[in-house]
Amino acid sequence: MKQRPDRLFAEPMAKVPDFVFNEDVARVFPDMIKRSVPGYPAIVENTGVLAGQFARPDSALYDLGCSLGAVTQALRRHVRADRCRVIAVDNSPAMVERCREYLHAQDAMFQELLPAEVVEADILGLDFQPSSLVTLNFTLQFIALDQRPVLLRRIRQALLPGGALILSEKLRFDDPTEQALLTELHLAFKRANGYSELEIAQKRSAIENVMKPDTLAVHRQRLLSAGFSQVVPWFQCLNFASLIALP
């Protein structure tokens, strides 16, 4: 499928509107996320590999906040457990429409893929089926702070023994030196990927009210409070990390 470059914040804006996952964002999303999130391709591909170890027969695999379904595609490439199905969920109509198109294209290219359905819904209102794997790939950071514990508790309750939640997030750091260093290095990553100072500044202003990163300590404590027994970080690239949470 054709890859369009992200130029959404390239021209000066009188007032930068809050970031929303609309049609404009969906159109450039693969380019935007690869150039903005260090380690994103490695996290997506290896989420599929990890899922292969946790997936159990006759269970659901959830991709929550699926956007265009990159994680769903990785799950379908790597998971071999019998009679598993992927349930990809997003509340952005533009993302869901394109996600379905991408999955149909994957169906046309490969045989014997896991069945996948894309549901247009708020993940806070889901009635979870018994599940061996749940992924929140850069989605929890967009959920209201007071809703995060409720969502994690529901996920924990849906998880079967031997299953896992894979949680990927941008991190914030309490230590000012660590926060400043990793923020500066993330800026260098964006510049190296062709974003201008104006694009970087306007994007930052667009996401600051809608995307609220937590520290690793907050994530760990909240997961344990939600009933998870153990939290194992498996990937970090600058201020972006991914955790395995075991039921």
Ligand X SMILES: Nc1ncnc2c1ncn2[C@@H]1O[C@H](C[S@+](CC[C@H]([NH3+])C(=O)[O-])CC(=O)[O-])[C@@H](O)[C@H]1O
Ligand Y SMILES: O=C(O)C(=O)Cc1ccccc1
**Could you give the C-alpha distances from 46 to 5, 16, 31, 124, 135, in angstroms and in order?**
25, 35, 19, 26, 12
**DSSP class of residue 115?**
P
Count Cα neighbours of 166 within 13 Å in the Cβ-side half-sphere: 27
One residue of 70, 84, 87, 164 binding ligand X per CB under 6 A = 70
Residues 210 and 142: beta-carbon distance below 8 Å: yes
| Contact of residue 21 among ligand Y, ligand X, none (CB under 5-8 Å per partner type) | ligand X
Q: How many CA atoms lie within 13 A of 202 on its CB side?
A: 16
Instruction: Tell me which residues in 148-167 interact with ligand Y (CB under 6 A).
Output: none
Contact between 203 and ligand Y by CB under 6 A: the answer reads yes
Based on the shown chain and the rule CB under 6 A, indicate whether residue 21 belongs to the binding site for ligand X.
yes
Q: Is 193 annotated as a binding residue?
A: no
Does 67 bind ligand X (CB under 6 A)? Our answer is: yes
* Tokens 């499928």 belong to residue: 1
Q: What SS3 class is residue 7?
A: coil
Point out the residue whose Cβ comes nearest to ligand X: 65
- Name which of 18 and 58 has its Cβ closer to ligand X: 18
Q: Which of ligand X, ligand Y, none sits in contact with 65, Cβ below 5 to 8 A by type?
A: ligand X
Q: Is 98 annotated as a binding residue?
A: no
Where does this chain bind ligand Y (CB under 6 A)? 32-33, 36-37, 170, 203, 207, 211
